[in-house]
Amino acid sequence: MNNEGVSFHMLTPLSFLKRSAYTFPDKEAVVYEGTRYTYRQFYQRVMRMANGLKRLGIAKGDKVAFISPNLPALLEAHYAVPWIGAVLVTINIRLSQGEISYIVNHSEAKALFLDTEFAPAVGEIRDELKNVRTFVNIMDMEAEKGLEGPDYEAFLSQSSTSELEMVLEDERDVISINYTSGTTGQSKGVMYSHRGAYLNSLGNALEADIRPDSTYLWIVPMFHCNGWCFTWGVTAVGAKHVCLRKADAAKIAELMQQERVTHMGGTPTVYLTLSEYMMGRDMKFPGKTKCFLGGAPPSPTVIDNVESLGGDITHSYGLTETYGPYAVCEWHPEWDTSPPEERARLKARQGVPYVTSFDMKVVDDGMNEIPHDGATMGEIVMRGNNVMLGYYKEPEKTKEAFRGGWFHSGDLAVVHPDGYVEIKDRSKDMIISGGENISTLEIEKVICQHPDVLDVAVFAVPDEKWGERPKAIVNPKPGKNPTRDDIIGFCKKRLAKFKVPENVEFGELPRTSTGKIMKYVLKEKEWVGYDRKVH
């Protein structure tokens, strides 16, 4: 590949920071608590970190791991680590010691940067981390003691701000490895390329309409799909990052007003909790805040709540294997005048691929595209710029995921006559009851419309007569106490009889750190002694 050609330049999201530092040197780039950095300072800190990593002996292809909440240090790592050709490995802060040990060892990380809140847990498994030569402590919480090694700010201060030449031989070089949540087995290391990260970041900026005067609030964990690639996308246009250690509703509401937040991302649960908090205090969003939403499709309640506060929800769809958002429910102006229920129905669809993504279709078992009739169900498959390079050191799993020349999502969906995709369920969650296919998502959407319900999980349980039947675990809103009969009666008015869950319980729902409900935890006790494989 000719990287010096007049008509070619390799794509990397690292170029975004260099441009913004040149174009907006004195503009605020990063805000966290009482600290504010301009784009010039942001760039200088990245150069300090890159020089410091070189001083540690980190070179091209080496892995550098981070265990950190959404702090400036983690944002800086998204540029400094790959700048010298190394690979960033961001680790979920809520993982167990065993899971952390597995990821650090599997990725062969040579350095581990960790927020001191997690130092005690990591300290207990320190001897298990075979390849780590250096620990660097991010001292965000002064009372916490770190591991033996420098603190992050000292590490930076001892390094030069001199500009390093970017180490990049091929735009398909690995920029980061993101480990899947592991809710259905051992975590897999998803490899992102510089090219894919560049294109998905630009897709985010385009679809979210981020501009130089925008302010993005960091609710989505940066360790999850590199923050859906907004770590790079916000910088691409010179907008402002507002970091947030913990995403609680009170702090989010405070920062929204204080920093005049224009953009943020989150799951339906985050938006529901935030909207309930703000509505209970007669608060409004500071303006027409663009609310990117990922994860499960939003319920009408979430959409109504957020938009009544001044937010504008855009639903995106993707997986760790697709750099986070891959498709978006592209809005049509003529839909603005639709009744609220119709707007909610339209907004809950997964839509069409990003302009930077390329291909997405829904196919049957023979890889034939299904009819666009809104009823026939198939699996979503994708291929193109924003599909992972593969699973790190997992060639057989990569081959299986890429069978037929497409990435298989495992998500079951229909395609509407206008070409928009709508997910009906995960293939592993579909309930087959007496020969009828029942979508757990459909039932969950209905139950979430109940005024006393915060969230719900629906899954299959064994049934002697029908084989499987749906069960619902309902998480009520604070201070609310719906009954089993309330939920069943609510469903009977809105669902076909065979879809109504007669088995309803109440309680907290087990989740991954990215907000996904771990249904397999709920299923396991129900299927003890049965043949069905629990995912």
The tens digit of pLDDT for each residue in 467-480 reads 789 999 999 999 99
For 240-264, how does the pLDDT look when each residue is reduced to its tens digit (9 = 90+)?
A: 999 999 999 999 999 999 999 999 9
pLDDT at 533: 45
Tokens 């079951």 correspond to what residue? 412
Q: Say yes or no: 182 and 265 in one domain.
A: no
Confidence of residue 535 (pLDDT cuts 50, 70, 90): very low
Considering the domain architecture, whether residues 491 and 422 belong to the same structural domain is answered as no
**What does the block give as tokens for 317?**
């769809």
Q: Summarize pLDDT for 128-146 with one digit per residue, the tens.
A: 999 999 999 999 987 678 8
On whether both 443 and 413 belong to a single domain, the answer is no
Determine the pLDDT at residue 99.
87
Q: Are residues 117 and 188 in the same domain?
A: yes
**In contact, 20 and 235? CB cutoff 8 Å:** yes
Q: Grade residue 532 by pLDDT with cuts at 50, 70 and 90.
A: low
Q: Say yes or no: 183 and 70 in one domain.
A: yes
Report, as an integer, the average pLDDT of 76-97: 95
The answer to whether residue 2 is domain-embedded is: no
Q: Residue 137's domain is classified under what CATH number? A: 3.40.50.12780
Domain boundary among 426, 444, 464: 426
In a shared domain, residues 297 and 390:
yes
Structure tokens at 130: 């075979």
The DSSP 8-state label assigned to residue 465 in this structure reads: T
Q: List strands edge to edge, sheet with 453-463.
A: 453-463, 467-476, 503-506
Residue 47 φ/ψ region, left for φ over 0, alpha for ψ in the -120 to 50 degree band, beta for the rest? alpha
CB 137 within 8 A of CB 126: no
Q: Are residues 274 and 415 in the same domain?
A: yes
For residues 397 and 437, membership in a common domain is answered with no
* Cα 37 to Cα 27: distance, rounded to the nearest angstrom: 8
In total, how many domains does the chain have?
A: 3
Task: Report pLDDT for 527.
Answer: 79
Work out the pLDDT band at 507, boundaries 50, 70, 90: very high
Tell me the pLDDT tens digit for each residue of 100-118: 999 999 999 999 999 999 9
87/290 Cα distance (integer angstroms): 31
pLDDT category at 177 given cuts 50, 70, 90 is very high
Q: Evaluate if residue 94 carries a pLDDT over 90.
A: no
**The one-letter amino acid at 39:** Y
For the cut 90, the answer to whether the pLDDT of residue 30 exceeds it is yes
- Pairing mode of beta strands 436-438, 431-433: antiparallel
3-state secondary structure (DSSP) of residue 33: coil
Q: Please identify which residue in the block is written with the tokens 């609030």.
A: 217
Distance CA 220, CA 228 (A): 8
Query: Do the domain assignments include residue 32?
Result: no
Q: How many CB atoms lie under 10 A from the CB of residue 129?
A: 17
Nearest alpha carbon to residue 219 among 200, 245, 257: 245
Higher pLDDT: 1 or 517? It is: 517
Report the DSSP pairing between strands 453-463 and 503-506.
unpaired
In a domain, 227, yes or no: no
* 115: in domain: yes
Element (H, E) at 134: strand 134-138
Predicted confidence at residue 362, as pLDDT, reads 96
Q: Which of 36-45, 111-120, 440-449, 482-491 has the lowest mean pLDDT?
A: 440-449
In a domain, 239, yes or no: no
Q: Note whether residue 18 is domain-resident.
A: no
Is 472 among the domain residues?
Answer: yes
Q: What is the DSSP letter of 379?
A: E
pLDDT at 185 over 60: no
Same domain assignment for residues 409 and 480: no
Looking at residue 144, its pLDDT comes to 75
Average pLDDT over the chain, rounded to whole? 91
Q: What is the pLDDT of residue 534?
A: 45
- The answer for residues whose C-beta is within 8 angstroms of residue 66's C-beta and 6 or more apart is 73, 74, 77, 88, 89, 90, 91, 112, 113, 114, 223
pLDDT band at 435 (very low <50, low <70, confident <90, very high): low
Q: Are residues 174 and 274 in the same domain?
A: no
Of the three residues 426, 461, 487, the one that is the final residue of a domain is 426
CA distances from 337 to 305, 316, 332, 341 (A): 18, 22, 10, 11
CA distance 470 to 440: 8
Say if residue 268 is in the same domain as residue 399.
yes
Residue 259 in domain: yes
Q: Which of 238-242, 271-275, 395-399, 493-497 has the lowest mean pLDDT?
A: 493-497
pLDDT at residue 438, as a whole number: 82
Residue span of the structural domain in which 373 resides: 247-426
Q: At 400, list the tokens.
A: 């299986």
Among 191, 180, 219, CA closest to 99: 180
Among 399, 426, 453, give the residue marking a domain's end.
Answer: 426
Same domain, 371 and 519: no
Q: Residue 376 — pLDDT band, cuts 50, 70, 90?
A: very high
Task: Compute how many other C-beta atoms are within 10 angstroms of the C-beta atom of residue 70.
Answer: 25
CATH of the domain at 515: 3.30.300.30
- Asked if the model's pLDDT at residue 531 lies above 80, the reply is no
- Count the helix, strand and coil residues of the chain and give each as a percent rounded to the nearest 5: 35, 25, 40
H/E stretch holding 470 reads strand 467-476
